[in-house]
């Protein structure tokens, strides 16, 4: 993949550039320890118009910016309640990562997309809680409206890509429990952590024209359960 940034206007040119970037992305799948069994899961990096009023009624030629879908998990969930997350979950029997990501997107935020909405995949990310997550990049297109499933999602947010592309969006900290750096990503006035931060950091690097590996980036201890 060429070392050149992708523009982020929500238009066909951006979609084409993302497809080209993902085609040139060499997925890294770390060698797995046969003694460690990880459950397969998938998450959606869902590209959408940052303007909630965009779509069929939007002004022709409007210069809308691209965003992605980020949720706040319902606090009553048994695992990781109240945390920031990309839509996603565990693969059902016989599902591909792409199919699981689209299914979870529909179940969590009510957005039903066809299989050709999938633009490509990023690197698998192994979590401390026992999952191997495949990030699936999808294009939501125009008129994408969402409704949170209250059993799983407390709130849905459209996060403009300029937030994760800001020079100070990403930082790394140390923890005494690991010699690996913990990645953090600034969203609004909050910090999100791996695995979500690791996935979005790699996507940020893809947009910037770089192939950056993230599987060795650490998660905070509260995410180890």
Domain-embedded: residue 109:
yes
pLDDT digits (tens, 9 = 90+) for 116-145: 999 999 999 999 989 999 999 999 977 788
State yes or no: pLDDT of 146 exceeds 80: yes
The answer to whether residue 61 scores a pLDDT higher than 60 is: no
Q: What is the mean pLDDT of residues 36-41?
A: 89
Look at residue 83 and tell me if it is in a domain: yes
211 inside domain:
no
Q: Is 116 a domain residue?
A: yes
Say which range, 47-51, 123-127, 168-172, has the weakest mean pLDDT. 47-51
Q: Which two tokens stand for residue 223?
A: 């995410």
- Asked, for residue 188, whether it belongs to a domain, the answer is no
Q: Is the pLDDT of residue 17 over 70?
A: yes
Instruction: Name the pLDDT band for 81 (thresholds 50, 70, 90).
Output: low
Cα separation values, 217 from 179, 181, 183, 197, Å: 10, 6, 6, 10
Please give the tally of structural domains in the chain: 1
In-domain check, residue 53: yes
DSSP assignment of the chain: --S-PPP-BSSHHHHHHHHHHHHT-----PPPPTT---EEEEEEEEEEES-TT-STTSPTT--PBEEEEEEEE-TT-TTTTT-EE-SEEEPPTT--HHHHHHHHHHHHH-----GGGEEEE---EE-TTSEEEEEEEEE--SS------TTTEEEEEEEEHHHHHSTTSEEEEEETTEEEEEEEEEETTEEEETTHHHHHHHHHHHHTT-----TT-B--GGG--
pLDDT at 225 over 80: no
Q: Is residue 213 domain-resident?
A: no
The percentage of the chain sitting over the pLDDT mark of 90, rounded to a whole number, equals 70
Give residue 99's domain range.
Answer: 12-162
Confidence at residue 56, expressed as pLDDT on a 0 to 100 scale? 40
Model confidence at 223: pLDDT above 90: no
| pTM, to two decimals | 0.90
CATH number of the domain at 87, please.
3.90.79.10
Average pLDDT, integer, range 68-77: 82
């Amino acid at each position: 993949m060429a070392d050149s940034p992708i523009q982020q206007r929500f238009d066909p040119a951006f979609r084409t550039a993302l497809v080209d970037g993902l085609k040139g992305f060499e997925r890294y799948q770390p060698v797995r320890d046969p003694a460690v069994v990880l459950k397969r899961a998938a998450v959606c990096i869902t590209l959408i118009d940052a303007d909630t009023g965009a779509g069929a009624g939007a002004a022709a030629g409007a210069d809308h910016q691209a965003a992605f879908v980020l949720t706040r998990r319902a606090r009553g969930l048994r695992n990781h309640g109240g945390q920031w997350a990309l839509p996603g979950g565990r693969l059902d029997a016989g599902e591909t990562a792409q199919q699981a990501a689209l299914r979870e997107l529909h179940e969590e935020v009510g957005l039903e997309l066809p299989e050709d909405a999938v633009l490509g995949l990023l690197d698998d990310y192994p979590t401390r809680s026992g999952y191997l997550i495949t990030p699936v990049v999808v294009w939501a297109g125009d008129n994408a409206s969402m409704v949170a499933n209250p059993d799983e999602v407390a709130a849905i947010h459209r996060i403009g890509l300029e937030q994760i592309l800001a020079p100070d969006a990403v930082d790394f900290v140390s923890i005494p429990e690991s010699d690996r750096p913990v990645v953090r990503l600034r969203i609004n006035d909050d910090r999100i952590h791996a695995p979500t931060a690791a996935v979005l950091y790699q996507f940020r690097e893809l947009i910037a024209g770089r192939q950056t590996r993230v599987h060795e980036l650490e998660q905070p201890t509260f995410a180890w359960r």
